[in-house]
Amino acid sequence: MEPTTIREGYLVKKGTVLNSWKVLWVVLADDAIEYYKKKTDNSPKGMIPLKGAKLTSPCQDFTKRSLVFKVSTAKNQDHFFQAAHLEERELWVKDIKRALTCLQGGKKFARKSTRRSIRLPENVNLSELYVLMKDQDSGVKELKVEKDKRLFNHCFTGNSVIDWLISEGKSRNRAEGLMLASGLLNEGFLLPAGDVSKDGAEKGAECVFLDQIEALYYFADSGFFCEGYSSDEDVILKEEFRGAIVKQGLLLKQGHRRKNWKVRKFILRDDPAYIHYYDPTKGEDDPLGSIHLRGSVVTAVEYVPDAKRQEVDGNLFEIITSDEVHYYLQAATADERKDWIRAVQSVAKMGK
């Protein structure tokens, strides 16, 4: 019987021989993980058997890389993967865990219900706690904090997190709140912003979270960014990064000069309406480019001029900016293309 495909998409993977990280097309089946150099390749570059394998998430072997998870085979071979954002990592981890459980029990893979209970279970579920913390009405309030000639956007202080946990009845005292907050930090739901919180996270103490007003943190999938001031004028830099993150993920993009296709990480922000794209193997410090979406048009297309059929096929869409620059992109699935088109259209109409 042919193995069942459970999940597929782009992930960044660490090489097993060289230490380089590369974007690969990854396919999770019920008994193995296959990875391909390109989505259109017929033969996989490698295969990871899941029988007897172990999953580690989050994997903190790499201090400068977040959202990493590790699959260790029965023969003690480690394979490291990095997701583009928190939700994506959680979806991959959830399905891999389920596949491993089914293999161990000799059962056929079947997804569990994804419906969330309203109240937290007796054993605290950090994923559900994170959702409650992010609630715009009753969660932890995001702030703009000016410190050391820098402006931190969409962040909050360490003591405000502990205050919220106690006020909402999630912890009985500040010591218990610190343990919960440290768990959220270790799992990658919360991230440190600024020198104080980063130093605390790197100390390796039992409680890496700091209950201090000087310690700043942010939600992993928020619109956080830090602005600096120019040395000669108090002018805030990077205006286009002010908007909250609406959507993010990996897409295939056609280059303007060579017309070749490469996987890029895209982050869509509103007000002002910008979409930035990055090399997913190198982080988000320096974008490769940006698209100002105000007044742009986005539509699904069936083919791309100057593109070879074997290079790219299906799930294509095009963004045409107000100054008539064309960008051609490909999503992993038809549903993902619809989601991106809908999100870009909304931002283009409402953003500045």
Which pLDDT value is given to residue 352? 62
Residues in Cβ contact with 334 at an 8 Å cutoff, skipping those fewer than 6 apart: 314, 315
Q: What is the pTM of this model?
A: 0.69
303: pLDDT strictly greater than 50: yes
Bigger pLDDT: 220 vs 115: 220
Is it the case that residue 183 has pLDDT exceeding 80?
Answer: yes
- HEC-encoded secondary structure of 75-129: CCCEEEEECCCHHHHHHHHHHHHHHHHHHHHCCCCCCCCCCCCCCCCCCCCHHHH
pLDDT at 31 over 50: yes
Q: Identify the burial level of 55 via C-beta atoms within 10 angstroms of its C-beta, where 0-12 means exposed, 13-18 middle and 19 or more buried.
A: middle
Which of 236-245, 279-288, 317-326, 342-351 bottoms out in mean pLDDT, i.e. has the lowest? 236-245
Within the chain, where are the H helices? 86-105, 126-133, 158-167, 174-186, 195-202, 334-350
| Helix axes of 158-167 and 174-186: crossing angle, nearest 10 degrees | 120
DSSP 160: H
126-227 is classed in which CATH architecture?
Answer: Orthogonal Bundle (1.10)
Residue 139's contacts (CB-CB under 8 Å, 6 or more residues apart) are 132, 133, 164
Lowest-confidence range among 80-84, 251-255, 312-316?
Answer: 312-316
Task: Give residue 336's pLDDT band: very low, low, confident or very high (50, 70, 90).
Answer: very high
| Cα 249-94-53 angle, rounded to 5 deg | 115
Give the model's pLDDT for residue 120.
Answer: 35
Fold of 5-105: PH-domain like (2.30.29)
Say if domain 240-350 classifies as CATH 2.30.40.10.
no
DSSP 29: E
- Tell me the domain boundaries of the chain: 5-105, 126-227, 240-350
124-141 pLDDT tens trace: 788 889 989 999 889 999
Query: Which range has the worst mean pLDDT, 49-63, 90-104, 176-190, 196-210?
Result: 196-210
Average pLDDT, the chain: 84
Tokens of 300: 């699904």
Domains 126-227 and 240-350 share a fold: no
Assign 307 a pLDDT band (cuts: 50, 70, 90). low
Q: How confident is the model at residue 50 (pLDDT cuts 50, 70, 90)?
A: very high
Q: What's the mean pLDDT in 290-315? A: 82
* Pairing of the two strands 150-157 and 143-147: antiparallel
Does the pLDDT of residue 321 top 90, yes or no? Answer: yes
**In terms of pLDDT, which residue wins out, 345 or 270?**
345
